Amino acid sequence: MNRLMATDDISPHSRRADARRRRHQRKRRSTLLLSTLLIVMIVGSAAAYAERGRISFLSQAPASEKVIDEQEHVVDRPVELTKGPKRRALTAKQPLRLWIGGDSLAGSLGPGLGRIAADTGVVAPVYESRVSSGLANPGFFNWPKRATSELARLKPEAVAFIIGTNDYPIVTG
């Protein structure tokens, strides 16, 4: 004779609950699988698109521009590519002067960028940040004035400047 334990529940309600739970689990697994497949397809498509763009860019014909000739036809005309001024070689004795400035966003970007750039041995970064951009109150900090003086003083060859606009007041009317 089989004895029922106090924990045994053979009511139809528990069988329905078990069936509902199993359906819910199957539905969750299916949704997770479909979501994963969709993400993989999107990432794969984006990668293929980027790769195709890179390949076609690298294999492009020489540069040309569209011009209108005397008969008002649009024609391709080759563009002469000229080299700009020759850049000096970067060395440890004559590194690239880099100024990194801005608000708290620069406080996040500046130290890492400065460290990475300095680790090359051919970049001399100078980093400066303030907690607020001063956009809302130039009396708090005037970036245009500060940047002008720092650029004149340091004479950087490259600048990374980043500020957010989150402290700018939103006027509603």
Sketch the domain layout of the chain as residue ranges. Answer: 11-82, 96-162
* Predicted TM-score (pTM) above 0.85: no
Could you read off the pLDDT of 105-117 as tens digits, one per residue? 888 888 999 999 9
Other Cβ atoms closer than 10 A to 104 = 17
Q: What is the mean pLDDT of residues 47-71?
A: 57
- How many Å apart are CA 145 and CA 161, to the nearest integer? 14
Residue 135: DSSP 8-state: S
Q: What is the mean pLDDT of residues 155-162?
A: 92
Could you read off the pLDDT of 74-113 as tens digits, one per residue? 666 676 777 777 888 899 999 999 999 988 888 888 899 9
Q: What is the pLDDT at residue 58?
A: 44
- The number of helices, as runs of H, and strands, as runs of E, in the chain is 3, 5
Which of 88-100 are b and which e, b meaning 16 or more Cβ less than 10 Å from the residue's Cβ? eeeeeeebbebbb
Q: What is the mean pLDDT of residues 112-125?
A: 92
